[in-house]
Every structure is written in structure tokens, then in C-alpha cells.
Amino acid sequence: MLEHDVPTRDQVVERLTVLLTRMLRPDAPVTEQTQLMDELGLSSSLGLELLLALEDELEIQIDVEELDEDRMATLADLADYITANSTAR
């Protein structure tokens, strides 16, 4: 991958997993099927911190114009959204 390419979905999943584990310290491992709000209790303000951290770590900008709760129900949903709606900085 070139330095400023948009990250792959696998890379987004890996960083989301690390960041969510660090921020929310869940009892069970975070997987693609983890329900972010229903299982982890992710709030909108924590979601904002998560997106900011992800943007910094992956050097991307996430377009939030189409983001809503349905698109961040599971880690897989959010990874799909970010992969499709990000540009390299």
C-alpha cells in the first residue's frame, strides 16, 4: 500500500478492534459481530472520539454525511461505512 492510500477494510477492522478495546475495556473480545451500542454501550460522544482517533491513526478523513445509527450497529457495519466513505489526508 502506498503511504497515503485509503486503508483496506481489514486494516479498518483491526484498528477499530484495538481502539474499542482500549476505550471501553469490554469483558469479551471485540469481533466484527459485536453490537457497538447494544453490547458495548458505545454512545454518540464515544463514537466521536472513536472516529477522531481512527482518523488520526489511519491518516484519513471520514465523511460523516451519511453516517447514522444503523451504519454503526456492529463493528462490521462501521468498518464497511468507513471503508466506503474515507479519503486519505
Partner 1 sequence: MRDAVRVWVLPAGAGPDELARYRAVLDPAERARAARLAADGLRDRFTVAHGALRVPGGRATGASPAALTWRRGRYGKPALTGPWRGLHTSLSYSGDLVAVALSEGRPVGVDIQHVVPGGDPVSASARFFHPREARHVAAGCDQAVRARRFVRLWARKEAAVKAAGGRLWPNLGMPVDRADVVECADPAGRHRLADVVAPQGCAVAVALAGQEPYAVECRTDLGDFR
Binding residues for partner 1, rule: CB under 8 A, are: 26-28, 35, 38-41, 43-45, 48-49, 52, 55, 64-70
Beta carbons of 39 and 75 less than 8 angstroms apart: no
Least separation, in Å, of the C-beta of 66 and partner 1?
7
With respect to partner 1, which residue has the nearer C-beta, 10 or 64?
Answer: 64
Least separation, in Å, of the C-beta of 27 and partner 1?
5
With respect to partner 1, which residue has the nearer C-beta, 10 or 69?
Answer: 69
With a CB cutoff of 8 Å and minimum separation 6, the contacts of 46 are 23, 24
> At residue 87, what is the residue type?
T
Beta carbons of 30 and 22 less than 8 angstroms apart: no
C-alpha cell at 66: 451519511
Least separation, in Å, of the C-beta of 56 and partner 1?
8
